[in-house]
Amino acid sequence: MNLHYLVREPQTIQSGHPVLILLHGYGSNEQDLFSFATELPNDYYVISVRAPYDLMYGSYAWYAINFDADENKFSDVVQARQSRDRIADCIDELLQKYPIDPKQVTLIGFSQGCILSYAVAVSYPEKVQRVVGMSGYFNRDIAVEGFEGKALDTLQVFASHGSVDQVIPVDWARKAVPQLEDLGISVTYKEYPVGHGVSPQNFFDFRNWLETTR
């Protein structure tokens, strides 16, 4: 198996189910966002994927975050691109293994998982239709070369951020909105008076967005 994951199957399994693929943040694991699973629509497959890089003690990362001598943070772009493609491959594997509609694939990412969700979606818009991007930002450097020329106007994004986030500045999320819209992507953006986390209102809003954009 390409990446380890947890699965919540639909209440009644038929053919052509929509799928929600959950991508956790740096230093977390597949159990984190999976706690949402019982509150998500019954007809979806809900699949929570574990990032490939082990940070010890049950925590994982999609790519390393390093610090230079001046304590500036920078991302390991090579690892990020590798994770991008492993997620894309994982989508293909899931479509082969489960009765999932390939035209109803949604990525739900938090923090580093959000950054990867955007990168996968713009790199492979033929594989993904919707993204719920929480507490992250759009990093063009980890998308495939020439992604701007792809058919991105089929993508829909629900982006959200905490207005007092001390980990990823809210300005980074705000800047992502026009960047994505300039690519032809439909974006719904919301802020909540929280730090680096998902408020109950944020969860309810993205769940309602899932229902209204089907």
Check residue 105 and give its pLDDT: 98
Q: How confident is the model at residue 202, as a pLDDT? A: 96
pLDDT at 56: 84
* Among 107, 115, 109, 138, residue whose Cα is nearest residue 24: 109
Q: Does residue 68 carry a pLDDT above 70?
A: no
pLDDT greater than 60 at residue 51 = yes
CATH topology of domain 5-212: Rossmann fold (3.40.50)
Phi/psi for 133 (5° steps) reads -110, 110
**What is the arithmetic mean of pLDDT over 73-100?**
93
Beta-ladder partners of 6: 48
pLDDT at 69: 57
Question: Per-residue confidence at 75, pLDDT binned at 50, 70, 90?
Answer: confident
Q: Look over the chain and give the mean of its residue pLDDT values, rounded to a whole number.
A: 94
Q: What is the tens place of the pLDDT at every residue in 111-146?
A: 999 999 999 999 999 999 999 999 999 999 999 999
End-to-end CA distance of the chain: 30
Q: Using CA atoms, how far apart are residues 210 and 194, in angstroms rounded to an integer?
A: 22
Mean pLDDT check: name the lowest of 11-25, 73-87, 124-138.
Answer: 73-87
In contact, 38 and 7? CB cutoff 8 Å: no
Three-state secondary structure of 149-183: HCCCCCCEEEEEEECCCCCCCHHHHHHHHHHHHHC
The whole-angstrom separation of Cα 87 and Cα 107 is 10
- Please provide the size of the chain in residues: 214
Q: Taking residues 83-99, report their average pLDDT.
A: 97
pLDDT digits (tens, 9 = 90+) for 170-208: 999 999 999 999 999 999 999 999 999 999 999 999 999
Q: How many CA atoms lie within 13 A of 204 on its CB side?
A: 4
Q: How many CB atoms lie within 10 A of CB 161?
A: 27
Tokens 């049950």, residue?
Answer: 58
pLDDT for 61 equals 96
Interatomic CA distance for residues 140 and 148, integer angstroms:
10
CA distances from 214 to 23, 101, 152, 162, 211 (A): 20, 12, 17, 26, 6
Q: Is the pLDDT of residue 71 over 70?
A: no
pLDDT band at 65 (very low <50, low <70, confident <90, very high): confident
**pLDDT at 55 (0 to 100):** 92
Q: What does the alpha-carbon distance between residue 126 and residue 36 come to, in Å, rounded to a whole number?
A: 26
Residues 6 or more apart in contact with residue 151 via CB below 8 angstroms: 125, 126
**pLDDT reported for residue 129:** 98
Asked if 96 and 109 touch (Cβ cutoff 8 Å), the reply is: no
